[in-house]
Amino acid sequence: MLNTSRILKFIFFIILLVIFSCKDTSSKSDHAYTNSLINETSPYLLQHAHNPVDWRPWSDSALEEAVKTNKLLIVSIGYSSCHWCHVMEKETFADENIARIMNERFINIKVDREERPDLDHVYMTAVQLMQGSGGWPLNVILLPNGKPVYGGTYHTNEQWKEVLNKIIDLYQTDPEKLTDYADKISSGIHATNVIEPKNDDTHLTKDALDLSVNNWQKNWDLKWGGDLGNQKFIKPHSLDFLMDYTELTHNDAVKRHVENTLDNIASGGIYDHVGGGFFRYSTDPYWKVPHFEKMLYTNAQLISLYSKAYKVYKKAQYKTIVEETIIFLEREMKGQNGGYHSAIDADSEGKEGGYYQWKEEELQHILKEEYSLFSTYYDLGTSEDSEKEASFSIQQSSNDSMFSAQNDILPEKLVLLKAKWQELLFKERQKRVSPAIDDKVITSWNALLINGFIDAYKTFGNKEYLTKAIALYDVIDTNNTNNNFLVHTYKKGDKQQEGFIEDYALLIDATINLYSVTLETKYLDRANTLHTIATTHYTDSVTKMYKYTKESKLISTLIKVDDGVIPSPNAVMAHNLKKLGILNYDNQLTEKSKQMLSSMADYLTDNAKDFSKWSALQLHTVYPFYEIVIVGEKADSIANTFNSYYIPNAIVVGSTQESTLPVFKNKYIEDTTFIYVCQQGACKLPVQSIEQALKQL
């Protein structure tokens, strides 16, 4: 009995301990407010989970409630690394008075544009129609039926309060006016997604292609590179097309423009000269002052671009850029599961770019007697701060050969000096509070990185890059699929959104490229499977293009044909159709590719800068496009050699053994390796040397 009594007392004591400890914890909550975003995994949504605004994620229930209660909706769209999104969250959405208005009069929805690019595309189009331009945070006010009546970007506290009150008043006093306006905007959104299907390819000529480039040329910044503008975005797919164009047309003026652009980007502040990798864009026309967020899609595409550019221009700096960017991604953006995270924040400790900028006295202290030489090689850029507190971004002020000559330093000595300076500054920067990382693994952006690794492998022959490409493909194939369908993002515990056409388009492209460099047919099989899924579930019956979403509950079917920060998914699908048609001897696929291009012909003449991925397909249509088919025991080594060359109008495939694939039919002869140069299955006489094959090209 005594032992039992003691045990009961002990259990009672433990229960009391647990009860009071639980009460103590709950009473010390750090947050006065918590909304339903607390159950999300998106870092951007979680940044707003403790706003007094009753935010909720986009959902059918939220839309149904708006209809049932006849309330307007506020849809606020942003992403975790966006500086002005942070500012508006602190200034406006954390304000209790603003929140009171929003909660009483509106259904409030927060959207992570990286999770839901479909919503972002639709409502960005609305804001561009209303305002002429757009950006993030993107704030739209909708009728209960989802049609927009107001749209804008960043608002100060007072501006947002004024907008809310005006819309509330108009909704009460003249709802018909709002409805009429919303119908017009919705019709405009629908019109931007209507592409008339055409089969007339008479406009697809060399002259038409030249005219489109000439028209685009009028908007080029011939001094600083890129297109004219107060801000500069890199647009890797545009420069990639122009490099291909110069190779086939021998247009030296275009070739110089691309080189000048690449050089200015590489030396400017938009490149991180301390830690490697690129920022999203520059806030000036000179590539000097960056907006400090780092995006996976930017860096993935620039690995590809500078790898290809090295083949054309043979500049050591381009190789260094590729190597440092890959090292940066491995160090700072690779997740534990092997996928690569989507973004690194622009802000650190509440200051935009604070992690990356330097005060002059800091640099003097770190570099000591070498500061003078350092500040001659690197330009410290500009700052809006006062002279005493000025912080600067580092950028290169002269090329290495000129600097070596002017300062009587041997080139090899300069290489060592730069490495030393970089190491010193990097170690010092590591002591700072790092910017936050958005740890979503986005399928389409990781597919771009698979291609980046492949292009680096093709150029430099480093097998480690191919290993990285294969490993990343395996991660995406494992984590970012659900019952053979792709999902758009992966994060442990997240509510997975079904894949968009950009995910299918870019992953098909990556798997075709993996097949080309590994000769393993499993990648071609996967590309064919993904293509079948995309065609079955995403083909639009009206435009014959690919819908952005499998099933749309939005106010308009979304057909994404123009390039954005990543190339047009429809253009990428058209490229894929052409390649799969060639590899499978399927003329229906190649004809589908040409039909899609024909439907876009009218857009290209005056808007090549916005449709450069289509222009690249036009280039492959008006100039011969070859399949280089290598069959025999030496196929892999010969394929590697061909892949190391810059041949923009060819796809390389090979097999070391007899294969049932159509592209290899009747081409294998034992103990011999033959190279076939073909066009859509029609092959020239087989040859055994690379030199002979190049002559046939």
Segment 130-146 mean pLDDT: 93
Please tell me the predicted confidence (pLDDT) of residue 389: 62
Q: Which residues of 416-425 are buried (b: 16+ CB within 10 A; e: fewer)?
A: eebeebbebb
The model's confidence at residue 29, banded by pLDDT at 50, 70 and 90, is: low
Give the integer Cα–Cα distance in Å for 16 and 103.
Answer: 40
- Would you call the peptide bond into 197 cis, given omega within 30 degrees of 0 as the criterion? no
Place of tokens 């000179």: 286
Instruction: Judge whether residue 410 has pLDDT over 60.
Output: yes
**What is the tens place of the pLDDT at every residue in 64-76?**
999 999 999 999 9
Percentage of residues of the chain with pLDDT beyond 90: 83
Q: Which range (1-15, 115-129, 462-476) has the least confidence?
A: 1-15
Residue 70: HSE in the Cβ half-sphere, 13 Å Cα cutoff? 5
Instruction: Judge whether residue 17 has pLDDT over 50.
Output: no
Segment 620-642 mean pLDDT: 95
Phi, psi torsion values for 234, nearest 5 degrees: -75, -40
| Residue 486 structure tokens | 């792709």
Instruction: Judge whether residue 488 has pLDDT over 50.
Output: yes
Instruction: Judge whether residue 619 has pLDDT over 60.
Output: yes
Which helix (H) or strand (E) segment holds residue 516: the answer is helix 501-518
Mean pLDDT of the chain: 92
Instruction: Judge whether residue 20 has pLDDT over 70.
Output: no
Instruction: Judge whether residue 684 has pLDDT over 70.
Output: yes
